[in-house]
Structure 1
Amino acid sequence: MRILGIDPGLRITGFGVLESEGAKLRYVASGRITSNEREPLPTRIAALFAGIREVVDTWKPTHAAIEIVFVNVNPQSTLLLGQARGAALSALTATGLPVAEYTALQVKKAVVGHGKANKEQVQYMVTRLLSLAAAPGADAADALACAICHAHAGRTLLTLNPGGRRMRGGRSIA
């Protein structure tokens, strides 16, 4: 199974691709998709959509996993993040990939062992679990962590949802 993990953001969206074979994980690629803050919102959303489509076309994942956005202190930031996440989901589903969704708590528990882990702990564990020579950037590490979470949960979720529809925490979303 080749998994694309996405850490959505309007300014920076992290992506990470790994292969999962049984309990073995192998790093494939990671990086960031950026948008120019000076551009109008529709242009930024289009850049994010196109960037994710390019990642899918380049790395050919068979599954995708994306982090679920929760409400931040600033409602405007939450709305913008939600729009970026919507663009990412649209790009992923337009390719026909099955998409699983995980909360930050689920991702951190799967990778670090507890849901209150900070970014540095996530980067450290991603580096260790994938035997990387150096830690990836924070956004790429979060995306790889999302892919790792799906690698651990994916076989179970696929058993529960053989049709391959979008999943949220083990529940199919129509």
Structure 2
Amino acid sequence: MNQAQAFLNDFKSTRNFAELVPVLAKDEAFRTAIFEEIESEEYPFPEYASWIAVHFFEKFPGLMSREQFNSMVAVLLRTANHSVQRNLTNTLVNAPFDCSENGELLDLLVDFLHQSEALPALKHHSLRMIEKHYLPVYPELMRELRTLFEVISNHPKASMQSMARNFEKKYRKHPFYEY
């Protein structure tokens, strides 16, 4: 077990983001080691490292390196781990790098919205990524999103119905909203 893995094992019990985030901001080597654990296949390292990434990059998006960004996208594209999917999708919303040319990532995000078994948080963060990174460049995506949210509006979970209503309220005047 390396130092980052030992730290993540201890972090499971403390979960003290207020203390950790400033330490990561100051110590690039430690930060890099923690975020490299996102690539691990062994529980709990990718789950906790990606959760820490959410909190860290929300406060310090400019400290995300191109290598970390590329690694997170690669892990997101290949993982079936729901926690890691949710955490990385949330983290990448704040990415300081352009995602708009990555069609494979867009397809995955749309697929998360399509999947009836995808959890509401993953759908929410997928929509946020599309809104920030793709919709400004490809406004015609609105038509597909509208169709998706018409289906989501019939979801049995109230949170999903609410998400669909909020989407409709937010975008009904968008130039590509109508068919």
TM-score (norm 2): 0.24
The structure that is strand-richer by fraction is 1
Q: Which has the larger radius of gyration?
A: 2
TM-score (norm 1): 0.25
The structure that is helix-richer by fraction is 2
